[in-house]
Amino acid sequence: MWFIERITGWFPDGAKPKPTWVGFTLKTLTSLPYALKYRWETMRQFYIMGNQAIPLVVVASMFVSMVLGLEWGKKLEPFGAKLMLGRMVSISVIREIGPMITGLMVAGRTGAKIVSEIGNMVLTEQIDALRAFGTDPVKRLIVPRVFASIMVMIPLTVLSDAFGIIAGWFASVVWMGIDSEFFWLSMRDGLFMKDLFIGFLKPPFYGFLIGLISGYYGYTIQGGAEGMGRAATKTVMYASLGVLIMDFVLTKIILSFY
């Protein structure tokens, strides 16, 4: 028992918990069903993390996709292969650009929001007040945010993919002179169900990582305003790196089966 307590950082003696990363992760995972108990807070987080992030995700995906269309169009033009642009843009957006851009944008926006909210509650002793009234702060505050962060990623990725492909089509037709019908035919012939599966498998993992990292640094914050700045910086940095590393790991695993 003492070994588990030392690793996880959670102690049953009523003392103020100072969880390690492992302990915080295990506690959050085992408490995920409480997102249904605190469903109103969870729904509120859906709106904040989902609806309010749509403009940022859509605009970022559109501009990256337009750059992709222009770059690939210039590279393919000397070989007379510009008609392949629809296939390349759609596969790139659905498998990588859409999920990746969504993950990075949510990591910056949602990660900073969660760590500032939870960190402020810790610094103003609201967390201690919840604990004094017998409410588990992780179940009441962290779990709804982590659960919402997981669930909003796929809808945001769908929007990112859709607007990204439209933006790639626009750049290909207007600036690269590709026939619109050929673009869509090339996309239809080159896109398969496994591409959709890969593109939609990754975002929930990104969301879980973003919610967990931001919740942990907010929950363990120390040092007042200076500590808040350090926690926010670490959250955005590690959440963004986590998305990139997770993308590589998942891609490597998936490609080993295809």
* Whole-number Cα distances in Å, 162 to 127, 128, 135, 138: 41, 44, 42, 35
User: Confidence class of residue 5 from pLDDT cuts 50, 70 and 90?
Assistant: very low
Residues 6+ apart with CB under 8 A from 48: 113, 148
SS (H, E, C) 86-138: HHHHHHHHHHHHHHHHHHHHHHHHHHHHHHHHHHHHHHCCHHHHHHHCCCCHH
SS (H, E, C) 50-75: CHHHHHHHHHHHHHHHHHHHHHHHHH
Dist CA 65 CA 84 (whole Å): 15
Q: Where are the domains of the chain?
A: 28-251
189 or 160, which is more confident: 160
Taking a C-beta distance cutoff of 8 angstroms, is the pair 167, 101 a contact?
Answer: no
State how far Cα 157 lies from the chain centre: 9
Span 79-138, pLDDT tens digits: 877 778 889 999 999 999 999 999 999 999 999 999 999 999 999 999 989 989 989 999
Average of per-residue pLDDT values in the chain: 89
211 or 223, which is more confident: 211
Span 194-220, pLDDT tens digits: 899 999 999 999 999 999 999 999 999
Dist CA 77 CA 80 (whole Å): 5
- Give the DSSP letter of residue 15: S
User: Confidence class of residue 159 from pLDDT cuts 50, 70 and 90?
Assistant: very high
Span 32-73, pLDDT tens digits: 999 999 999 999 999 999 988 999 999 999 999 999 999 988
State how far Cα 40 lies from the chain centre: 22
Match 């993992």 to its residue by tokens.
205
- What's residue 152's pLDDT? 96
Model-level pTM greater than 0.85?
A: yes
Percent of the chain with pLDDT over 90: 69
DSSP 3-state assignment of 18? coil
Asked if pLDDT for residue 76 goes beyond 90, the answer is: no
Give the dihedral sign, CA 194/195/199/205: positive
For the chain, report the end-to-end CA distance as a whole number of angstroms. Answer: 43
